[in-house]
Amino acid sequence: MPYAKKKGDTTMSTAIKAIPTLYGDEARRFREMADETEREFDMRPKRDLTTDPCYKAMRTILERSNINFYR
C-alpha cells in the first residue's frame, strides 16, 4: 500500500521494485556467460598503468598542484 501523503507532510517515499530473478535454463545460461566473461578477463594480458599517457598526465597535474596524494 503506497504511503498516504498528508497536507504539510515533507516525508518522501520511494516505490519498492521487485528484483528480477532467473530460474532454470535462463539461470544456467546466465551463469555460463558470466563465467566465460570472467575467464576471458583473467586471460587478457596485464598492463602497467604507469606507462599510460593519461596516468602520466594525471600524475603531472597532481605534482604541480602541490597535493600530497602519493605518500
The count of domains in the chain is 1
Question: Each residue of 23-62: pLDDT tens digit?
Answer: 999 999 999 999 999 998 888 788 888 889 999 998 888 8
Q: How many residues does the chain have?
A: 71
Asked if residue 25 is part of any domain, the answer here is yes
Residue 37 maps to a domain:
yes
Q: Is there a domain that residue 55 lies in? A: no
Cell reading at 43: 586471460
Whether 50 and 39 have beta carbons less than 8 Å apart is answered as: no
Q: Could you tell me if residue 41 is inside a domain?
A: yes
Asked whether residue 58 is domain-assigned, the answer is: no
Structural domain includes residue 29: yes
Full-prediction pTM beyond 0.75? no
Confidence grade of residue 63 (pLDDT, cut at 50, 70, 90): confident
In a domain, 28, yes or no: yes
Q: Is 40 part of a structural domain of the chain?
A: yes
7 falls in which pLDDT band (50, 70, 90)? low
What is the Cα–Cα distance from 43 to 37, expressed in whole angstroms?
Answer: 10
What CA–CA distances, in Å, run from 34 to 15, 19, 28, 37? 30, 18, 10, 5
The residue segments making up the domain with residue 33 are 21-45
